[in-house]
Amino acid sequence: MYRGASLYLESGSKSKTSEETNRFVYILCAVVCVLIPLSLRTVLPNEAELEIDVKSWVTSEDSHSLTSRHTLTGSQFNQSYNGFQYKCQPSICSRQENVVFIKTHKTGGTTVQSIMYRYGYIRDLSFVIRRTNEKNGHFRHMELTKDSPKKMFLPLLDTGTCSFRGYNMSAIHVVHNWEIFESFMNPGTKYITILRDPVFQLRSAFVFFSLYKGVRGITIENKLLNYMRGNSWKWQVYGKNSQSKDLGLKTEYFEDEAKIKLFINQLDIELDLVLIHEYFDESVVLLARELCWNLEDVVFTIENNRSNHKPNLDSELLDSIRKFNHADVLLYDHFNQTFWKRIEQQGPMFWRDLEEFRKLQNKTMYKCFNSSTIPEDYVSGHNISDYCDRYTGGLYLFKNVYKRQHKTC
């Protein structure tokens, strides 16, 4: 999951002053990366979990199916001191503008999507968008092939011709398939997704997608229990193990422990970063660091935050959901562990960034809306500056992206 960095040494003679400066920086790096984390170590939720040997999940007959996209190596620290940037494993941080965000259902993905659309729209980047879906551009569970771009996508932006190879970004609902995406995305694309605790994700989806319709029961809690005991989920796409399904796990493998673990192992290789819904601020700061973006690039407003009545979760319902969503539970638990390990490996500067981000987030919201949330009567593009309009939501941004990228081919 974590990439090692390459050390680039400048050739040629160096002055004595330069040598002394470099020696000081590396000594400081050692202090920060070894001594300070030990003394300032923060106890984090779900950290210090058992190390997972991914090779043990792969049987001899399945091992050939693993895609070796990048080597899973040590993590990097990114610190600064008096203007000097250094890493324990030195590397060059370059802004990433080629990103696939696999949008999972009812996980906070619309908010992340808005961040992507805002960033890409400002910089004239080309998005993967379904040509015939002017509402939101989603494919959802339609199967993509290498021929899909020409048949189904909007062409690249301003190439002079109708080109369908070399997209910068994707931020739609589409089933993850790394090999297919690699056939039409730009080289070096980063792959990102977001996960949510499967208990609360199903509770939200059950109401939002009206999965309770036709299910026996007087209360919403009774209906949810009966839904999980029945078979109606087999004909629905947003119920059982929805997050695993969005990320490519076939329905027939929902009860196959070995296949589920192999699936998670494959995602570990293919995905560059997995965000966690329950720790959204930490997630977007980690996103900014992964993509070498500014903190202002990831300021957000809450999207699709519904106040509908949701089932109360007693112990019986909690246990039932975790058993029902077994694949999602394994998926979430694994990437929740790696998420906190990833943060711990960032070093103390991560927490300073997080504090700075929260100040910036609050400052932006009050500058634009005099509130920590968008007023209900606010209409995008009508009564506030263009700067503030960019923070109002994915649908407004999507319409602008679609209109600019749409042309007849």
Sketch the domain layout of the chain as residue ranges. 94-405
What's the pLDDT at 304? Answer: 54
Q: Which amino acid is at 408?
A: T
Kindly tell me if the per-residue pLDDT of 159 is higher than 80. no
Contact 114, 250 (CB under 8 A): no
pLDDT at 10: 37
pLDDT at 37: 42
pLDDT of residue 58: 32
- The torsion region of residue 63 among left (phi > 0), alpha (psi -120 to 50) and beta comes to alpha
Q: Does 174 have pLDDT greater than 80? A: yes
The residues facing 167 across adjacent strands are: 185
State how far the Cα of 197 lies from the Cα of 268, in Å rounded to an integer. 18
Percent over 90 (pLDDT), the chain: 53
Residue 28, pLDDT score:
53
What does the pLDDT look like over 102-144, one tens digit per residue? 999 999 998 999 999 999 999 999 999 999 988 888 998 888 9
Above 80 in pLDDT, residue 44?
no
pLDDT value, residue 394: 63
Exposure b/e, 389-404, CB count within 10 A at least 16 = b:
bbbbbbbbbbbbbbee
pLDDT level of residue 308 (50, 70, 90 thresholds):
low
Tell me whether strands 169-170 and 190-195 are parallel, antiparallel or unpaired.
unpaired
Q: Which residue has the tokens 């050939």?
A: 64
Q: Is the dihedral of CA 331, 337, 340, 346 positive or negative?
A: negative
Evaluate if residue 281 carries a pLDDT over 60: yes
Residue 91 pLDDT level (bands cut at 50, 70, 90):
low
Q: What is the pTM of this model?
A: 0.76
- Which whole-number Å values give the CA distances from 360 to 81, 273, 295, 354, in the listed order? 22, 23, 8, 10
- pLDDT for 80 equals 36
Distant-in-sequence, close-in-space partners of 146: CB < 8 Å, separation ≥ 6: 180, 183, 184
Check: CB of residue 348 under 8 Å from CB of residue 33.
Answer: no
Is 94-405 a CATH 3.30.70 domain?
Answer: no
Q: Is the pLDDT of residue 404 over 50?
A: yes
Structure tokens at 51: 């190390």
pLDDT tens across 330-350, in order? 999 999 999 999 999 999 999
| DSSP H or E segment with residue 402 | helix 394-405
Q: How confident is the model at residue 381 (pLDDT cuts 50, 70, 90)?
A: low
The CA distance from 96 to 184, in Å, is: 17
Q: What is the pLDDT of residue 309?
A: 63
CA distance 362 to 369: 10
Pick the more confident residue, 160 or 114: 114
Residue 21 makes CB contacts below 8 A (sequence gap 6+) with: 84
* Predicted local distance difference test score (pLDDT) of residue 306: 54
Bridge pairing between strands 79-81 and 84-86:
antiparallel
Residues whose CB falls within 8 Å of the CB of residue 60, separated by 6 or more in sequence, listed in order: none
